[in-house]
Amino acid sequence: MHYIIETPAQTKMFEDNSENVSKETFLKLVNNKYKKIEAISVLDEINWDFKDFTTQYLSHKFHSYPARFIPQIPFSFIMLFTKEGDIVFDPMCGCGTTLVEAFLNNRKSIGNDFNPLAALISKVKTTLIPRSEFDHLEKKISKMKRYLDLDYRRIEERTNELPSRTISKIFNKAVIGKLEAIREMIIELKDEKLYNLYDLGRVALSATIWSLVENGTGIDLENTFIKKITMMKKEILKMAQYISNNNPEVKVYKDDARKLKLDDTKVDLIVTSPPYVNALDYYRVHMYNMLWLNMDFDLFRKHEIGGHSHHIMNRFRLLSEYLGDMLRSMIEMNRVLKRGKICAIVVGNSSLEYELIESHKFFSSFAPKIGFKHHKTIFRNIDTTRKYTSADIGQIDDEYIVVLEKMSNSSMDAKDDDFITQEVKREMLSFKEKIKRNPGSSIRSRKPSNERLAKNVDKINEAIETIKEDIKVKN
């Protein structure tokens, strides 16, 4: 038996504690060779809370990202259900956690995300860069520091482009001037055809802007950027020591999970964490990063799945839209997955109008209709000190892993609006009956009036009437 504990890249997923018994147990579990049915049983033996495990190591540290899942989850499924050279796929890859784990463990991987920033981060986190290119970058940065001059014309143009939000005030002329100088230096890398360095520089700039927005003020921009670059260089060079000579192939697409551009039965494992309905607007979180990287955040906002800004007047229409989007995505997952292979979907509960949305139950309900067998749903506690949460919707402190197996090709197509409408309506009717029996199921502190809760049934009825319209994919 080969134990991954002998591989330096994987020992980094644990706290520095040589007596960590859970580490020894976990590694022995996932590194054995099992038949599929045995591996499915092993899932019950893993402590999915992963308390005291390190979640930020190597390129996982490159860029903050909201609601990302911890690397131990995809790592476990990769080790249990694939072999070296297999293809691991994440159709909503976010910042690339699944891809990094596949890369570190010599699996090919494919990532997909409609968010252009997510696709960029995922690519950079799985791309090795030689030391010689980093030496060139350091010289350019050193030169840039001597010429952080303010281009007042460009500053005025950029100021006028900023969104009408209070946070925009932190982007004063000095801050904008430094950001523009950094951006111009990065563009020079593209002109020099150093494309991997160019992308890395863009991710470092984005991470710097994220830090600025998170801190609100007082950030030392150029030095923060340089520290990001230095850290990324260190981790990439370290990763290069752990990757086999057959540098595992990684492909990242900026595309729609509801209509994937992948061939049928192409992948050996899917591990993904879809957006949570009504949790947050990813486009809003990434707005300033995308602005400086010349990315179209309005297009992303329009097509974002589960976005908090959709259907403000009736939030239950957002639920219908979300369920339609998830069902289409699941049909596409079935299409690209090989028969008999595993699909793991990580999702948390959320709330709408004081009602609990148990998203994992929707996935397990859809599964048998489209060629999947639902094996189990795994509950895990989230360490909320390590995961991005939104104060606006309350902390999400647990999540679920829905484990599916592809038994057959789906007889339904992701473009079949009639089927999508039928299944979403069935779920919405069931949801309505549930909240009639137990209204206000998501209340944690203040309790609204019974009259207020009673209005939810009327709103759901309205949402049911508009399902056919709301589940359509926007052009």
Question: Does one domain contain both 326 and 363?
Answer: yes
Question: Does one domain contain both 342 and 234?
Answer: no
Residue 260 domain-assigned (yes or no): yes
Residue 137 domain-assigned (yes or no): yes
Q: How far apart are CA 342 and CA 42, in angstroms?
A: 14
Number of domains present in the structure of the chain: 2
Give the side-chain half-sphere CA count within 13 A for 254: 13
Q: How far apart are CA 128 and CA 63, in angstroms?
A: 16
Supply the mean pLDDT for the chain.
87
pLDDT at residue 215, rounded to an integer: 81
Domain ends where: 242, 269, 286?
242
By C-alpha distance, which of 303, 287, 305 is closest to 117?
287
pLDDT at residue 389, rounded to an integer: 43
Question: Does one domain contain both 54 and 168?
Answer: no
The token pair that represents 239 in the structure block: 């990763």
pLDDT at residue 443, rounded to an integer: 67
Q: Which residue has the higher pLDDT, 9 or 132?
A: 132
Residue 297 domain-assigned (yes or no): no
Question: Does one domain contain both 68 and 142?
Answer: no
Of 135-144, 214-223, 301-310, 357-366, the range with the highest mean pLDDT is: 357-366
Residues in contact with 236: Cβ distance below 8 Å, sequence separation at least 6, in sequence order: 59, 127, 128, 129
Q: How far apart are CA 357 and CA 365, in angstroms?
A: 14
Q: How far apart are CA 255 and CA 276, in angstroms?
A: 19
Residue 448 domain-assigned (yes or no): yes
Question: Does one domain contain both 268 and 368?
Answer: yes
- Which pTM was predicted? 0.91
Domain ends where: 220, 242, 264?
242
pLDDT digits (tens, 9 = 90+) for 385-427: 555 444 444 455 789 999 999 999 999 999 999 999 999 999 9
pLDDT digits (tens, 9 = 90+) for 51-88: 888 889 999 999 988 878 999 999 999 999 999 999 99
Residue 120 domain-assigned (yes or no): no
What range defines the domain where residue 222 resides? 131-242
Residue 295 domain-assigned (yes or no): no
pLDDT at residue 369, rounded to an integer: 98
Question: Does one domain contain both 428 and 363?
Answer: yes
Question: Does one domain contain both 429 and 313?
Answer: yes
* Local confidence band at 284 (pLDDT 50, 70, 90 cut-offs): low
Domain ends where: 242, 259, 285?
242
Question: Does one domain contain both 264 and 330?
Answer: yes
What CATH number is associated with residue 419?
3.40.50.150
Q: How far apart are CA 75 and CA 213, in angstroms?
A: 31
CB atoms within 10 A of CB 223: 11
Q: DSSP class of residue 276?
A: P
Question: Does one domain contain both 99 and 45?
Answer: yes
pLDDT digits (tens, 9 = 90+) for 165-208: 777 788 888 888 888 889 999 999 999 999 999 999 999 999 99
Question: Does one domain contain both 260 and 215?
Answer: no
Is the pLDDT at 4 greater than 60? The verdict is no
| Mean pLDDT in residue range 126-135 | 96
Q: How far apart are CA 282 and CA 418, in angstroms?
A: 29
Question: Does one domain contain both 108 and 29?
Answer: yes
The token pair that represents 85 in the structure block: 């050279």
Residue with tokens 């980093």: 134
Q: Which residue has the higher pLDDT, 212 or 365?
A: 365
Question: Does one domain contain both 26 and 88?
Answer: yes
Residue 296 domain-assigned (yes or no): no
pLDDT at residue 170, rounded to an integer: 82
Is the pLDDT at 342 greater than 90? The verdict is yes
Residue 223 domain-assigned (yes or no): yes
